[in-house]
Amino acid sequence: MVDQVSGNQGMGPLSPQDKRAYEAEYKHGIDLFQRALNDYSHSKNMFQKAEFKEVMEKAMQVLNETAGELKKQDLLKQNEALAKDLAAFESQDDAANTTQLMKDLNKAKRSL
């Protein structure tokens, strides 16, 4: 995931290659999150649901790490909204929370 990219650990601006890699990683994280959310919504098995939830949480970590490396404030703000939506979804996985989470994921996907 993110550790596969060379990273710059605060050593100046990203190279164009690193920037593209982080953007691709961000998009991949969103896709993974969306698939896990969709599968979670259709699953009746509580063990599968727990696994899908874990995937969503790990995808959220990837989104936060890549947005931080890209130093894009709009992505960081979007991630805050996603984290809030994920917390609401985890406390009560009703249709409204699922819809809001999917809506914000789509918005994040378009923001790059």
Task: Spell out the long-range contacts of 23-29 with Cβ–Cβ below 8 A and sequence spacing 24 or more.
Answer: 23/66, 23/70, 23/112, 25/1, 25/62, 25/66, 26/62, 26/63, 26/66, 26/67, 26/70, 26/75, 26/112, 27/109, 27/112, 28/62, 29/59, 29/60, 29/62, 29/63, 29/66
Whether residue 75 is contained in a domain is answered as yes
Whether residue 10 is contained in a domain is answered as no
User: Domain limits at 62?
Assistant: 16-110
Whether residue 11 is contained in a domain is answered as no
Q: How many CA atoms lie within 13 A of 103 on its CB side?
A: 10
pLDDT for the residue numbered 5: 44
Confidence of residue 72 (pLDDT cuts 50, 70, 90): confident
Whether residue 26 is contained in a domain is answered as yes
* pLDDT average, residue stretch 38-53: 95
Whether residue 8 is contained in a domain is answered as no
- The CATH number covering residue 78 comes to 1.20.120
Whether residue 72 is contained in a domain is answered as yes
pLDDT for the residue numbered 52: 96
Contacts with 102 (C-beta within 8 Å, 6 or more apart), sequence order: 34, 37
Whether residue 94 is contained in a domain is answered as yes
- With a pLDDT cut of 70, the percent of the chain lying above it is 90
pLDDT for the residue numbered 51: 97
More confident residue, 11 or 1: 11
Whether residue 82 is contained in a domain is answered as yes
Q: Is the pLDDT of residue 8 over 60?
A: no
Q: Is the pLDDT of residue 4 over 60?
A: no
Confidence of residue 10 (pLDDT cuts 50, 70, 90): low
What's the domain count of the chain?
1
